[in-house]
Structure formats: C-alpha cells, structure tokens
C-alpha cells in the first residue's frame, strides 16, 4: 500500500508575528501508524522541501511516544526535509491520502487549487481521504462531482470552536472549521474537547483534534485493506 501525506508550507500565524505550520503529533502518529502497517509513505507539500513545524507542537509538554520516536528517526527526518512539491504528485500512484493539521493548512491548503484538485481526484477515483484537526479545512472549496461542496450532507468533524477558543486563536484564524462546515451544509459533529473523535462517511475520514490523528490513520488503513 502506498500512502500520500500532504503537509502545509505556511508558517505565519495571521498578523500575530508568531510562527505556525504543521502539528508534530498529527504528522508523527499517523506516519508511524502507516509505516508500522507496512505502507510506503510519501510526503508532499505545496512548496516542497521542509514543511514548517509549529514550534508550540515541539515543546516538552506536547511530546508523545510518536514524537519522541520521530526525534530519534533520521530516515523520517530526512523524508520530512525533502517533501515532494504537491503539483508533482500523481493520484494514480497512491491508495489513500492523509492531511495532518496544525494551523498552517487554514491559509495555504484550504485555498490551494492544486490541493483542491488532488482531493477531488482521489475522491473521484474511489480512494479514501483523511484529514485531522485543522486539515479538514482543506475541504472547504472541494466539490463533489455534481458541483456541490463535497461535504454537503455528509458527516464531518474538525477542530471545534471551543478548542479554537481554548488556544486563543478564534479571531486570528481565517475561518472557523465548525462554522464553515455548517455553512457548507456539512453535518458537523464533535466529541469532547481534546479527546479522540473520528467520523467516517463513506471514504471520507475526518478527525477533530491532535488526539484523533492515529485513529484517522487506522481508519484509512482499514478502508484500503
């Protein structure tokens, strides 16, 4: 099995002067879930090369077994430093795609025509697609074959308004996933803040927050088995 993981290339947290990017746990936990299942994992990002890491996700209190494993894994670090450019990716080469979160995707992947077309191509090909935390925001402009929003009428989740408020970024992010999905006609659901909560609707898998990362990956593995 071959898995594509798509990471953000955006590193600026609005007008705060702070840095953002991808969230380390949301990359590391699925990466090892895929690798430990024997999958071939390929990493890509809009700009290619090293994606920006949200520095908050690298702080001591944010570490998990998977992030510590990554810290000692030179091969994984090299793979992350040399991501493919997203526009070089061919959907036919992969069985599934997974988007880690972090706030970065709200700015670049949500608006990227390349990413939108890629997700639509995976969906049209009948291949599972997975997103966690803020990465479901990459779905906001994705269309179904009928031209309607892909998530319209479908069960979805993503970083909740209450979680965004808890990290103090409600007025910083370009849009709130919970609100946006409801406006698009998605059947947004959420679990308890910071607890794993994953929704499967056909071949679309979404996870609410960092704690959901590994479970989204495991759901994709089952769907591609």
Structure-block tokens of residue 116:
């939108």
Task: Determine the pLDDT at residue 225.
Answer: 87
- Spans of the chain, pLDDT less than 70: none
CATH number at residue 28: 3.40.50.880
DSSP 72: T
Domain that holds residue 57: 2-224
* Matching residue, tokens 């949301």: 26
User: Which element (helix H / strand E) includes 40?
Assistant: strand 40-45
Residue 82 CA to residue 89 CA, distance in Å, equals 14
Burial (0-12, 13-18, 19+ Cβ within 10 Å), 75: exposed
Structure-block tokens of residue 175:
């849009």
How many domains is the chain built from?
A: 1
Non-local CB neighbours of 70 within 8 Å, separated by 6+ positions = 24, 27, 28, 31, 32, 76, 77
Q: How many CA atoms lie within 13 A of 183 on its CB side?
A: 10
Contact 97/122 with Cβ under 8 angstroms? yes
């Amino acid at each position: 099995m071959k898995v594509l993981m798509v990471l953000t290339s955006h590193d600026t947290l609005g007008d705060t002067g702070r840095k953002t990017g991808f969230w380390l746990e949301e990359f590391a936990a699925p990466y090892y879930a895929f690798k430990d299942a024997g999958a071939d994992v390929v990493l890509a990002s809009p700009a290619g090369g090293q994606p920006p890491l949200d520095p908050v996700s690298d702080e001591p209190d944010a570490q998990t077994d998977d992030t510590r494993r990554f810290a000692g894994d030179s091969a994984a670090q090299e793979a992350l430093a040399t991501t493919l450019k997203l526009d070089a990716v061919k959907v036919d080469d992969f069985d599934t795609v997974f988007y880690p979160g972090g706030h970065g995707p709200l700015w670049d992947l949500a608006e990227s025509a390349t990413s939108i077309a890629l997700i639509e191509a995976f969906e049209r090909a009948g291949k599972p697609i997975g997103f966690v935390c803020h990465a479901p925001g990459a779905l906001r402009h994705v269309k179904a074959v009928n031209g309607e929003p892909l998530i319209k009428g479908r069960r979805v989740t993503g970083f909740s308004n209450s979680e965004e408020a808890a990290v103090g970024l409600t007025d910083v992010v370009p849009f709130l996933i919970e609100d946006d999905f409801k406006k698009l006609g998605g059947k947004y659901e959420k679990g308890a803040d910071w607890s794993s909560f994953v929704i499967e609707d056909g071949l679309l898998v979404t996870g609410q927050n960092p704690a959901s990362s590994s479970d989204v990956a495991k759901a994709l593995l089952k769907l591609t088995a």
